[in-house]
Structure 1
């Protein structure tokens, strides 16, 4: 383990509003973490307030009520669901369940670096295969495990059904990260009926706007789900977080209205960004763009806007920035600063 830890860099989550306020910057707009910028519905807030009265007690370790809601939402059997403290927690538990030292893990890039991180912690042999624009083709690849992401972070595009099927045919296990699937309106949950080796990862952090609550889940065949449930923390989610997720699933109409706003604003941002930079196709709540300016992220930071600099990520040649879709006023300020910087 000492050897592995020496090879792995600490996960970099980027800057947060508190960091800028400590720098003396007043107005701060966070457009770096792919959060849903809109608050949850009032029903969720009220449910959490009531649940506070019970925080002196442990939650039921099986999270039955939440799993029943997820089963209904995803149209899967109850036994196919595993729960975790955010998608990152589930990813680590999945790696612990599936991987042995020297197992071959394929990570198409550019994508989420945490896939490599959790695999290396298991001493797996990681092969990062670059696909320009994350146009993934796994027909000629094989191994113990492959990670796919749809919509992909940071490019924002989705993979097609053939790619998922090819992965399931060629690899012993497939983890498909659908953290942003609701924004795209595309999911491969139906393939769980056909492929016993497919594991789909979901979260309440993005579409449902509960990033601070840390609620993630996976969908898989019952034997894999049982294994994940066995080794995860027995009280992985706080009772407040579980209740928030349950009530969020009772308010799908609210989240659909928010989704439409976000998609409309995303396309507005795209049209303006394309006046200056190359913008990648996106079906998520963020955009990736390539630029040739020096210190672009710092220029935005000086003006109180936090963007995610992904320059240097394997598979991205040149300078790249990811920007999350904010609320209407935040988007207007971002676009004003964008014009100011590029038209000086």
Structure 2
């Protein structure tokens, strides 16, 4: 009854959520610390909350179907013409539409690993031929990517789950040598402040995808945007569902763009905490800490395989959720990704680490 490819696709694994820990261990949901989904631990400012509350009076109405106001504000923010911007229900929908408008059955798609697993799922749904190219610790070699050239090439900078940036020289090399479209996922870019927006003027085969979920603290409202080639942007506008972003989501996203100083201040707090947590974790001999330019840290645990369950459950019993990425393509050994939380949350994380390793 359903398409054959559906039977071989594994559903996307979002990890565990506070509700899951509350049910299993009887810990009140409000007391669970989620360091699993790379969410911003700081909510938007009061000015954004007021806009959210005022929007309630219009939830019975559809939003404007073309989101000109939101695109205009994004255009001001990134310095790119509105005509080169498409908006979506989170970055995930933009990635999905990127596959829908570019891929025919059996088209090759190049995915460096370890990386974000959703790229492969979305490409498989289009019956694409996937070429995984492994780069230890996601140290991208542009020449190797081009050898495995695809009609679509997915890159992530900073990369999820390793946290590191793709050097611009490697991206330039790929853009210059490939005939395909290079999609750079910049969902975490504001934590590094090293975007590739300036390359759009030179390379027509570059597309950037960004999110309001991380830097702008709107994971629960689902807003993302794509920037780049006008033909692809126009195609996305053709295939996206009507009213794909709610009125509340669109107007709150605009309000966030009017509060940049606040979000930059919260970003600076997160980066200071990330550096502190990196230093503290590096003191444990059994942990290998990956350098990060994002709001999370990847760690490898140099212990026997059966330690994975003990490690995860030790945190969950204390009401702390980490993201277990052990077994992800391109990662060898036990790996956990840790979102940087507030100082008090990070202190509790470090306390459990101390109990486990000392």
TM-score by length of 1: 0.98
Q: Equivalent residue of 2:104, what SS?
A: coil
Residues 132, 85 of structure 1: alpha-carbon distance in 2 compared, 3 angstrom cutoff: same
Match of residue 299 from structure 2: 289
Unaligned runs of 5+ in 2: none
The counterpart of 1:118, out of the listed 115, 118, 122, is: 122
- Higher alpha-carbon deviation: 206-215 or 328-337: 328-337
**SS of the residue aligned with 1:71?**
helix
The residue aligned with 1:152 is 159
| 1:145–1:171 Cα contact (<8 Å) kept | no
Aligned to 1:13: 14
Selected match of 1:179 from 161, 165, 187:
187
Describe the SS at the equivalent of 2:4: helix
Alpha-carbon distance between aligned partners in 2 of 1:52 and 1:21, rounded to the nearest angstrom: 30
1:93 aligns with one of 91, 94, 97: 97
In 1: Cα distance, 2:316 partner to 2:96 partner: 32
Whether 1:128 aligns to 2:109 is: no
Aligned to 2:315: 300
Q: Counterpart of 1:320 in 2: which secondary structure?
A: strand
Between the aligned partners of 1:3 and 1:168, the Cα distance in structure 2 is 34
- 8 Å CA contact 2:288, 2:302 repeated in 1: no
The alignment partner of 2:105 has SS state of coil
Structure 1 residue 292, shift from structure 2 partner:
3.0
Give the 3-state SS of the residue equivalent to 1:40 in structure 2: coil
3-state SS of 2:346 partner: helix
Unaligned runs of 5+ in 1: none
Structure 1 distance, partners of 2:47, 2:246, is 18
User: Where does 1:177-326 land on structure 2 (aligned, <5 Å)?
Assistant: 177-276=185-284, 277-293=287-303, 294=307, 295=309, 296-326=311-341
Corresponding residue for 1:4? Answer: 5
The alignment partner of 1:212 has SS state of coil
2:344 maps to which of 329, 336, 342: 329
2:87 is aligned to: 83
- The answer (yes or no) to whether the contact 2:27–2:319 under 8 Å persists in 1 is yes
Q: What is the RMSD computed on CA atoms of the aligned residues?
A: 0.9
Distance 1:171 1:311, change over 3 A: farther
Displacement of 1:25 = 2.0
- Asked if the contact 2:322–2:338 (Cα under 8 Å) also holds between the matched residues in 1, the reply is yes
> Residue 143 in 1 paired to residue 150 in 2?
yes
Per the TM alignment, residue 171 of structure 1 is displaced from its structure 2 partner at its CA by 3.9
Structure 1 residues 149-206: Cα deviation after superposition (integer angstroms, max 9, x where no partner): 0000000000111111122121410100000000001100011111111110000000
